[in-house]
Amino acid sequence: MIRIETTSKIRSIQKELLEKMAQTPQMLDKIGEKIAKIIDDAYTYKAEEGVIGIIGKEPIAMYALLGLLQLTELKWSVSVYILEKSPSLSQLLARYPNVNIKISYMEEDEGYQQLSMLLHQHPIWIDSIAEISASIPASPTLQTLIEHIMQVKEKSPALSHIVSIDTPAGVDNQCGEVNPISIKAEMTIAIGAVKIGLMRYPALTRVGEIHIAEFDSSISVPETSEHLYVSPNQRWVVSVLTNRLASQEAFNRKLTILDGSITSPSALQASALAALSLGAVNVELAIPSTIYESSAAHIFDVDWLLLPHEMGVISEDAVPILYQSLKEKTVLLFGVGLELNDITRKFIMRFFNNNTSSSRIIGLIPRNEQTKLEDKPTYSPIIVGGNILHALMENNKEWLSLLSVDAIIVFTLSDWMDIVSSQEDGTEKISDRIILVEKYAQQWQRTIILIDLPITIASPNQNTVIIPTRVLSVKNPKMSAILSGLTAALLQQGLTPYEASATAAWLFSRAADNARDKKGELFNIQPSDVIKALPDVLRHLQ
């Protein structure tokens, strides 16, 4: 897992590091060694052509300069372009008197002629210019500098690679805002931990691939009341997937996806195809019978449970049939394609309230068996959408008791805002969604997935997971069907709600970003694009 912290917490740690460095310079050298190793591992084939470091604001400038000095030990050609002279930078350079490094200063470079020459000479550019904040934008001088760098980059995009140290210039690493003139990095090397603002949109469109140069173990992390934020990396995902149940064991647990309406059959297809892509077996699709023919033409390798319907949506008479099917051990996914109207609300409340009685004939169950149905079956875990939760909250004050303790609630942003707005006094309290997702996961003691930018997952007694994605259209409700299907498949294979949610969201994010890269930035990606991208993501995990 990648560690994520608030900006204030990281600055507190960095302050302690710099204070200790005054007594033990070797401590800071270790940060430089880690930075140099990350760069060398990624671009070692460019060592001879070399790197230019644009050195700006301290303390990030110190880390960047140390990384560059360590690169010389790895036989890299290194140039340094210092924006402003300072005693601490001079002292650091004095510690390496024999290092072959070319140094230039911005104050001596009229019209950025020297900088332009260095940018053309070296293919790797190290950005440690400065961060900004939402209230204090970059100075005109820095904006002009950043604009010049990006103009040079645009002329040779494939020949140059930008690596930002800690934060790309022009990006607010606390709230995630981006200056119109900012650096777009290919890689960002976070110092100690990733600042939480870099995981938010639109900042996450500027950071590129994230690596971490961790602090020395002797640096203490200040104790605060804040939760620890983490983001899965590929190593963690592979580890989790390796430990899941074998297919034969998973086959003993059924996955039932309850979804679909005559107006929204595509959500069923999205969740089912996503689950099947992860190797889900023994999958049952419980749908209104009227959409069977159109759905069966697109989905294979599943069983079908055809349910009574009214006007193309599942009716309350489907509950006894569904109960009969759920007698065996089952993971149940209430899909997002269940159109909410008076008919489906009655079905939802009857299902969750364990009410099997009916005043009407149930067409697929003999009349004399209608009163002999067993009590509500045990299905666990269950995944419900925010729309289902909204219906429960409207009709039952004890709604929380209707969901199993290992339930996962998947929210689209619109469903989340509707529910939270009704719970909070004043819109100013819903501005920080990550904090509120944590709050309600603890309050409800259930795992919550919020499909936003970034995707946020909070689970009781677990670290909050933040997963960035550059795809705006993840807010499409059909996208939540894909994420729900992936999560359900992993639950069937034995993962905990926390593991399944975090792993599914990571796979979903990678597939969405890959689909966007393939399609280009000018066009929105569709759920089908994400489904098609999943096999490549899974293949690269091998």
Residue 528 CA to residue 518 CA, distance in Å, equals 13
Residue 107 CA to residue 85 CA, distance in Å, equals 9
Residue 89 CA to residue 94 CA, distance in Å, equals 9
Confidence of residue 422 (pLDDT cuts 50, 70, 90): confident
Among 108-122, 124-138, 417-431, the minimum mean pLDDT is found in 417-431
What is the mean pLDDT of the segment spanning 287-301? 93
Residue 311 CA to residue 288 CA, distance in Å, equals 10
By CB neighbour count within 10 A (0-12 exposed, 13-18 middle, 19+ buried), where does 203 fall?
Answer: buried
What kind and span of H or E run contains 17? Answer: helix 7-23
Confidence of residue 310 (pLDDT cuts 50, 70, 90): very high
Dihedral over alpha carbons 44, 50, 53, 54 (to 10 degrees) = -130
Confidence of residue 477 (pLDDT cuts 50, 70, 90): confident
Looking at the chain, the domain(s) classified CATH 3.40.50.10260 span: 2-226
Model confidence at 307: pLDDT above 90: yes
Structure tokens at 344: 């489906």
pLDDT single digits (tens) 480-522:
999 999 999 999 999 999 999 999 999 999 999 899 888 877 6
| Most confident option among 319-328, 370-379, 413-422 | 319-328
Residue 533 near residue 515, CB atoms below 8 Å: yes
What is the mean pLDDT of the segment spanning 266-272? 92
What kind and span of H or E run contains 5? Answer: strand 2-5
Residue 157 CA to residue 435 CA, distance in Å, equals 38
Pair type for strands 447-451 and 455-458: antiparallel
CATH 3.40.50.10260 for the 2-226 domain, yes or no = yes
Residue 99 CA to residue 118 CA, distance in Å, equals 18
Model confidence at 363: pLDDT above 70: no
* 257 conformational bin, left if phi > 0, alpha if psi -120 to 50, beta if neither: beta
> Can you give the pLDDT at residue 58?
79
Class (C level, CATH) for 246-539: alpha beta
Amino acid identity at 355: N
Looking at the chain, the domain(s) classified CATH 3.40.1190.20 span: 246-539
Average pLDDT, the chain: 84
Residue 264 CA to residue 267 CA, distance in Å, equals 6
> Can you give the pLDDT at residue 430?
46
Residue 497 CA to residue 505 CA, distance in Å, equals 12
Confidence of residue 291 (pLDDT cuts 50, 70, 90): very high
pTM of the model as a whole: 0.76
What is the mean pLDDT of the segment spanning 209-224? 67
Strand order across the beta sheet in which 161-165 lies: 102-105, 78-82, 51-55, 124-128, 161-165, 187-191, 209-213
- Residue at token pair 């173990």: 217
* 102 conformational bin, left if phi > 0, alpha if psi -120 to 50, beta if neither: beta
Model confidence at 221: pLDDT above 80: no
* 308 conformational bin, left if phi > 0, alpha if psi -120 to 50, beta if neither: beta
